[in-house]
Amino acid sequence: MDIRLSATVTDSIVDGPGLRFTVFVQGCSHRCPGCHNPETHDPLAGRLADTRGLIAQMRENPLLSGLTLSGGEPFEQPEACLALAQGARGLGLDVWSLGSGAAATSG
């Protein structure tokens, strides 16, 4: 399944506990004043990636603690983010989402 991305960080230590695979989705209709990632607002910018390829990248790193979905707004691409979350959970990773200015976690 395709997902539109701004960027990925394969070994983040700032986007949640432990070593994280962070996906910055592209597109956010909130456009909050003072947004930390305003370059992610345009839903047509960024690049397309395949969720299966991203899950394969997570699988390659046995040191990962989890997946962080950030943005942009992850909940504006729910199907693709769900596929990533399910893939991460299948690898034994926890999942965090940092959309809409609040963090939500899944142990």
Q: Which has the closest alpha carbon to 91: 15, 20, 27? A: 20
d(CA 4, CA 45): 8
> What pLDDT was estimated at residue 12?
97
Residue 37, classified by CB atoms within 10 Å of its CB into exposed (0-12), middle (13-18) or buried (19+), is middle
d(CA 99, CA 95): 13
Give the residues of the chain that fall short of pLDDT 70: 99-107
In this structure, the strands spanning 94-97 and 66-70 are parallel
Reported pTM: 0.90
> What pLDDT was estimated at residue 103?
44
> What pLDDT was estimated at residue 73?
96
Helix (H, G, I), strand (E, B) or coil at 7: strand
Top CATH class, 2-106: alpha beta
Dihedral angle of Cα 16, 17, 18, 19, to the nearest 10 degrees: -10
- pLDDT tens sequence across 53-70: 999 999 999 999 999 999
